[in-house]
Every structure is written in C-alpha cells, then in structure tokens.
Amino acid sequence: MKEFLNLIRFPNLILIVLSQALAQACLLVPGIEFGKVLEPGFLGLTLSTVLVAAAGYIINDYYDIKIDAINKPERVVVGKTIRRRPAMFAHVILSFVGVAIGVLLYIPIGLINMGAALLLWGYSARFKKMLLIGNVVIALLSSSMLLVVAVYAHVLNNITIGYAIFAGIISLIREIIKDTEDIKGDASFDCRTLPIVVGLHKTKLFLYPIIAIFQLFVFIVVFHERTNLLFDIYMLIAVLGPSIWMVVKLARADRKRDFTYLSNLGKVIMLTGILSMLLIG
C-alpha cells in the first residue's frame, strides 16, 4: 500500500482535494460556506479529479522508469515494487472511472476530465521531452483543477480565474525548476527540456521574468480595492516573501540539491496561496 501511495503521489492528491474544497467553500459565493464541500455532486467532482490525476502520476512513472533510475533511484516504484503491467492496468481503470464520474455529473466535466487524461498521457509519453511544451501542459492542468469547480457550479467569477492564473504561473515556474533538477537523467534519454537546450544560466534568465510576473500579479491582487487588510498582509508575507527568497536562492543555485530546495519552495508557495482563500471573505 505504501508503494502505491508513493506511486500516485498521495500528498499531491491531498493538495488537489484541499484546493478544490477551498475553492468550493470560499470562491463561489460571498463569505465561507464549508457545508458546500459536503454536497454529493462536489464530492463526485473532486473524486473524479483525483482519479484522473492519480492515473497521470502512474503513467508518468511508467514511461520514466529509466530516467527516474538516474534522477530519483530511491523513488522508483514501477518495475521495482509494482510491475509494469499492473501499473498500466491501474492507469487505465483510474482514468476511465474518473472520466465516467465526470460525464455522470455534467457532460462538460466529463469532457474536461477526458482532455486532462489525454494530456497527461501525452505529457508522459512525449510532451515532457519537448522544449517547454510539457511545462505549459502541467501549468494549464494546474489551472483547470480550480476552474473545473467553477464550471460545475456555473459560477466563473474573477476571483476563481485569478486563483487559476496563480496556480498556472507557479506551476510553470516549478516545472522548469524540476527540469533543471532532473537534467542529468533527462539528458541521457534525449529530452529537449529548457535546461538541456539553453543551459543553466539562460534557464535562470528565462525564469526571472516569469517570477517577476508572478510577483506583479500578487501586488495587483494585494492592492485591489476589494481585498481586506488581513488578506493583504498574509499575501505579502506568505506568498510574495517566499517568491522573493526563491529569486535569491535561484541566483545562487548550481547543484541538484539547490533545485530540489527550489522545487519544494514552489510547492510551499502554492500551498500558502491556496490557503489564502480562507481570508477572501
């Protein structure tokens, strides 16, 4: 069981559940309504999202056995503790059930889930090896994780769109950092990720303006007339502050462990950003 939970990135799935639950409770209507999280339709929506995401993690590891043996040998599960055929079977079943639940809830949700499942397969099989394509795919999927809640509720407001943009930008930053972290294994198997194509220095130069755009976005949100003081202070300390520290650490980064730290910092920024939904009201 532990190996399977590692395979499907259980902590990441918890982050998805938390993101959608807070979006459902805090973004769709004024105030906070935690009771909306227990609505059967929303629970089905979250389950379908988690199943598709879990399937995506499985197929990613299925295709990355040899690369992961170099980049993260201690984390290899497929082909080691779980055989390849059962892993592929689990991927197919989870994807099918996730899409099916989506269709039963609301046909557009089913179509979104199907698109996500296909993109995750394409990412694992091909896109992640292409210059920036894989990074953009994951960024879009991160945004869709929040937008799908609004689509199901028929309430696509500016606040939800703003958080979707936030998730997309920080995911893009983190994915490029992860490519830099994994450059050794990726280069051994002809991947064309940004760090491999342009080198470490130019990858940093590419990241700085993206991080600056993210920080500008946070400033725009903080100084918006409709946000409250507590929210503004939180965003400056818990989101903008770590992003500034990210720039400092990125400038000094030159080893794998440095980029592992930056990748984890990106995940922390995403978490603190998601938790800010509690202060929107």
| Sequence-ordered list of residues with C-beta below 8 angstroms from that of 56, at least 6 positions apart, any chain | 116, 117, 120, 121, 123, 124
What is the arithmetic mean of pLDDT over 249-277?
Answer: 97
**pLDDT tens-digit map of 25-37:** 999 988 889 999 9
Query: Both tokens of residue 179?
Result: 């490519």
State the architecture of 2-279 in CATH terms. Orthogonal Bundle (1.10)
Local confidence band at 226 (pLDDT 50, 70, 90 cut-offs): confident
pLDDT digit string, tens, across residues 158-202: 999 999 999 999 999 999 999 999 998 888 888 999 999 999 999
- Specify which residues 78 forms β-bridges with: 82
On average, the pLDDT of the chain sits at: 94
Q: What are the distances in angstroms from CA 275 to CA 92, 223, 244?
A: 33, 19, 19
Q: Name the amino acid, one letter, at 230.
A: L
pLDDT at 185: 86
Buried b (16+ CB within 10 A) or exposed e, 173-184: bbbbbbbbbbbe
Using pLDDT thresholds of 50, 70 and 90, give the confidence band for residue 281: low
Give the DSSP per-residue string, the chain: -HHHHHHTTHHHHHHHHHHHHHHHHHTSSSS--GGGGG-HHHHHHHHHHHHHHHHHHHHHHHHTHHHHHHH-GGG--BTTTB-HHHHHHHHHHHHHHHHHHHHHH-HHHHHHHHHHHHHHHHHHHTGGGSTTHHHHHHHHHHHHHHHHHHHHHT---HHHHHHHHHHHHHHHHHHHHHHHHTHHHHHHTT---HHHHH-HHHHHHHHHHHHHHHHHHHHHHHT-TTS-HHHHHHIIIIIIHHHHHHHHHHHH--SHHHHHHHHHHHHHHHHHHHHGGGG--
Domain ranges of the chain: 2-279
Q: What is the pLDDT of residues 63-83, one digit of tens each?
A: 988 888 888 887 788 878 889
Q: Rounded to whole angstroms, how far apart are CA atoms 120 and 47?
A: 17
The total of other beta-carbon atoms located within 10 Å of residue 58's CB is 28
pTM, entire model: 0.95
